[in-house]
Amino acid sequence: MASQPTLAPNTSTLTINIFDGTRAPLSASADILYQVTDGNSKRIFDKEERTASLRLTDLPFYDNWGDNYTVLVWAKGYQQAGFTPVKLSPTQPVVLDLMLIPANPGLNFADALWDSIKTKLPFLAYGVDDSAGKMRYGNLMEDKPKALAALLNITTAMGQISLRDGNPLQYLKQIIWDDTLAQDRFFAYCDAKLIDEVRLAAAQGEFAPELAPWVFHPGATSSWKQIQFGEANVQLTFHETDRTVIDGVACVKIEPDIDYYKDPGAHFLFEVVTNLVTRGLTNPEVVYVLRWIAGRHAGVPEFAPPYTIVA
């Protein structure tokens, strides 16, 4: 008698883990709303659970676009978080880590004090004596904490990008310490060799060039955006007409930032236009969450800037 063919499983398993803004598992003292929607826009799970780790074992498997799930989570007193697409499989359980931060978050810079940060980010201390550097850094932390958070987000992400020779952070020589240091970007002088390194990385599919970068970056001559993640990629914009020499190294002005969205259309519609209408700027707390989630999903080293988000 011929054996019957083995039928492929028709369900998938998904585990959702919730973390807080300190990058630790969220306390299970709150009811968390979990919403799981399949790629056919059908809500599969919609329920509050008092747990920060939920395992779902019977999610439908379609063997087509329906397996591109969307997961959203929310709890009272927290901002909503989510991820899409979460590609499910009947043979390999999927783990998704998400982060919930308070609705009114605070920033804890205990691990980013001057004596530590001047070693990790020496370009902040270049060209100024230590007492003056410490004073201006302390003023930034006190008066413009979101700008400092953005600076730490961007530099941490830059340090995680592999180039042919080092990473982009290593090419920064001196920050431009003025009112342009904002909650969505900063300006600095970098070794001009970084342009060739980024151009090579773009040729290898790690970055994508931005057309007409001067439209949204006045004075810019070239710009490339990292395309590793779906959200929160680093963009490196160069102002090659602004040059200087630092310790014998030919340098150009650089403008690093992190956008919410990888897709240029989504970036324009949901970030640039929204910021113009609301007169707002990209929120470093949102960048922190998006970049952390994207990194966890991609299985790369954790995005861990030297500050945390607290209540």
Q: What is the DSSP string of 236-291?
A: EEEEEEEEEEETTEEEEEEEEEEEEESSHHHIIIIIIHHHHHHT----HHHHHHHH
User: What is residue 224's predicted lDDT score, i.e. its pLDDT?
Assistant: 97
The C-alpha atoms of residue 293 and residue 12 are separated, in whole angstroms, by 21
pLDDT, residue 27, reads 85
pLDDT single digits (tens) 3-35: 554 445 689 999 999 999 999 999 867 899 999
* Intervals of the chain under pLDDT 50: 1, 5-7, 263-279
Per-residue pLDDT of 191-209, as tens digits, reads 999 999 999 999 999 999 9
**According to the model, what pLDDT value does residue 280 have?**
59
Q: Which of 289, 294, 295 is nearest to 26 (CA)?
A: 289
The answer on 248 and 135 residing in a single domain is yes
Q: Is the domain of 17 the same as that of 44?
A: yes
Q: Is residue 5 part of a domain?
A: no
Same domain, 151 and 237: yes
**Per-residue pLDDT at 99:** 97
pLDDT value of position 18: 97
Q: Indicate the residue among 44, 66, 99 that finishes a domain.
A: 99
3-state SS assignment for residue 157: helix
HSE-CB at 256 with a 13 A cutoff on CA atoms is 29
- Give CA–CA dist 182/112, Å, rounded: 18
Report yes or no: 32 and 51 within 8 Å, Cβ to Cβ: yes
Same domain, 58 and 160: no
Q: Output the six-digit token pair for 76.
A: 């009272």
Range of the domain at 29: 11-99
For residues 122 and 267, membership in a common domain is answered with yes
Residue 6 included in any domain? no
User: pTM (2 decimals)?
Assistant: 0.90
pLDDT of residue 29: 76
Which pLDDT does position 262 carry in this prediction?
55
What does the pLDDT read at residue 310?
Answer: 96
**Which residue among 99, 120, 141 closes a domain?**
99
Give the model's pLDDT for residue 26. Answer: 94
Longest CA–CA span in the chain (Å) reads: 87
Contacts of 232-236 spanning 24+ positions with Cβ under 8 A: 232/157, 232/258, 232/259, 232/260, 232/287, 232/290, 232/291, 232/294, 233/258, 233/259, 233/262, 234/154, 234/157, 234/158, 234/161, 234/168, 234/258, 235/210, 235/259, 236/158, 236/168, 236/194, 236/198, 236/207
Instruction: Say which CATH number the domain at 87 has.
Output: 2.60.40.10
- How many domains does the structure of the chain reveal? 2
Are both 23 and 168 inside the same structural domain?
no
